[in-house]
């Protein structure tokens, strides 16, 4: 088997059905679909959807039920243990793919045989992650901030399964890191200094369904992530991102962390601009939570937050939009 599409599933039968419905009429023996369910309370509904499409679609469909509730990171990292396919395409259960375009994706895998691929994704009519639209065998140190930010969304990351299993991973650390996929992607690209890109008409973000972190009981840090719709929620989970980057840098090149922090500070200022655009109260709340968060204290972003009280909120929004268009190339 060349490819397994592994759907990390938790309590979203409706979204699972949407994923499978997109494979109706698709015929292929080059890939299978594995629903990796993490002990969902709605497992009976998920099983009903599975049985309905097991007999309806012409793709090998498997329902893998974890013996116990693993939580986000453990459910992801064990995805490579439940298949013997050459490649694993990770998919969140609230995102979906165009089943008719999978053959084009498979052709890219066969032709290039990289250890890791990035799939651009469509969200609200806009293609994202498309800055990585050229395959490269020359990933340089300054490129790793882009690598990191483009790895945060795990849907559409395609890994060479053998390459992942050969890594010496600190699974105890990763078990509650929230960013297991970022660690693995960064380590693989550091080792081989290359990645592949896949067609941009395959992956779509659904953005609906219950929050995975907030609803999965075994996710140790889920209480911090229960409402990611709030701007200040970034301040809750980003300390875990920084810890993950520091960890992977310690086993590769410590300069990766420095490169990442340089980009991270720009984005932190962007969060400040967004909070000021929302209003004085929201910006005050953002500043208070930043100062009291577990994030490192960065002087320049902090001073910019203070100065933004003098900037009209519409101007702050315009500056942020302009900065994103000019500066941001990833994530």
- Is there a domain that residue 85 lies in? yes
Same domain, 51 and 199: yes
pLDDT attached to residue 296: 95
- Is there a domain that residue 212 lies in? no
Same domain, 133 and 265: no
What secondary structure does DSSP assign to 100-160, as a single string? GGHHHHHHHHHHH--SEEE--EEETTEEESTT--S-BS---GGGHHHHHHTTSS-TTEEEE
Same domain, 241 and 307: yes
- Is there a domain that residue 254 lies in? yes
pLDDT attached to residue 269: 95
Same domain, 89 and 200: yes
Same domain, 172 and 264: no
Same domain, 195 and 78: yes
Question: For the chain, how many structural domains are there in total?
Answer: 2
Same domain, 139 and 97: yes
| CA 64 vs CA 24, 47, 97, 161: distances in Å | 21, 10, 20, 18
- Is there a domain that residue 211 lies in? no
Domain region containing 170: 3-205
DSSP, collapsed to helix, strand or coil, labels residue 245 as helix
Same domain, 39 and 94: yes
Same domain, 91 and 184: yes
Q: What distance in Å separates the CA atoms of residue 146 and residue 86, rounded to the nearest whole number?
A: 26
- Is there a domain that residue 63 lies in? yes
Same domain, 177 and 125: yes
Of 190, 205, 220, the residue at which a domain comes to its end is 205
> Nearest 5°: phi and psi at 193?
55, 35
- Is there a domain that residue 141 lies in? yes
E strands within 163-292?
A: 196-197, 203-205
Longest dimension (CA), the chain: 63
- Which residue matches tokens 């101007």? 315
Same domain, 200 and 238: no
- Is there a domain that residue 215 lies in? no
Instruction: Determine contact, residues 61/20, Cβ cutoff 8 Å.
Output: yes
CATH number, residue 70: 3.90.550.10
List the chain pLDDT tens, one digit each, 331 residues. 999 999 999 999 999 999 999 999 999 889 999 999 999 999 999 999 999 999 999 999 999 999 999 999 999 999 999 999 999 999 999 999 999 999 999 999 999 999 999 999 998 888 998 766 555 568 899 999 999 999 999 999 999 999 999 999 999 999 999 999 999 999 999 999 999 999 999 999 987 544 444 344 444 454 555 555 677 888 988 999 999 999 999 999 999 999 999 999 999 999 999 999 999 999 999 999 999 999 999 999 999 999 999 999 999 999 999 988 776 655 5
Q: What distance in Å separates the CA atoms of residue 331 and residue 235, rounded to the nearest whole number?
A: 17
Same domain, 112 and 243: no
- Is there a domain that residue 223 lies in? no
pLDDT attached to residue 137: 63
């Amino acid at each position: 088997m060349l490819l397994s599409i592994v759907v990390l599933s938790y309590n979203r039968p409706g979204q699972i059905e949407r994923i499978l419905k997109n494979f109706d009429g698709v015929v292929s023996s080059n890939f299978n679909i594995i629903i990796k369910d993490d002990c969902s309370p709605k497992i009976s509904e998920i099983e009903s959807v599975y049985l309905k499409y097991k007999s309806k679609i012409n793709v090998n469909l498997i329902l893998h039920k974890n013996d116990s509730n693993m939580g986000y990171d453990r459910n992801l990292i064990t995805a490579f243990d439940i298949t013997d396919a050459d490649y694993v395409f990770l998919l969140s259960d609230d995102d979906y793919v165009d089943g008719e375009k999978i053959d084009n994706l498979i052709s890219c895998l066969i032709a290039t045989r990289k250890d890791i691929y990035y799939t651009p994704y469509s969200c609200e009519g806009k293609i994202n992650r498309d800055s990585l639209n050229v395959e490269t065998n020359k990933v340089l140190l300054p490129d790793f901030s882009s690598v990191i930010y483009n790895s945060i969304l795990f849907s559409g990351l395609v890994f060479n399964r053998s390459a992942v299993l050969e890594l010496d991973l600190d699974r105890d650390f990763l078990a509650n890191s929230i960013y297991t996929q970022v660690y693995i992607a960064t380590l693989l690209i550091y080792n081989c200094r290359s990645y592949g890109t896949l067609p941009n008409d395959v992956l779509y973000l659904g953005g609906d369904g219950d929050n995975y972190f907030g609803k999965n009981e075994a996710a140790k840090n889920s209480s911090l992530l229960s409402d990611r719709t709030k701007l200040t929620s970034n301040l809750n989970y980003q300390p875990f991102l920084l810890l993950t980057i520091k960890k992977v840098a310690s086993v590769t090149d410590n300069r990766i962390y420095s490169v990442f922090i340089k980009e991270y500070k720009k984005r932190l200022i962007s969060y400040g601009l967004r909070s000021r655009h929302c209003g004085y109260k929201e910006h005050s709340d953002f500043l208070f939570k930043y100062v009291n968060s577990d994030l490192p204290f960065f002087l320049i972003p902090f001073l910019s937050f203070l100065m933004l009280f003098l900037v009209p909120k519409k101007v702050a929004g315009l500056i942020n939009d302009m900065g994103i268009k000019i500066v941001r190339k990833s994530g």
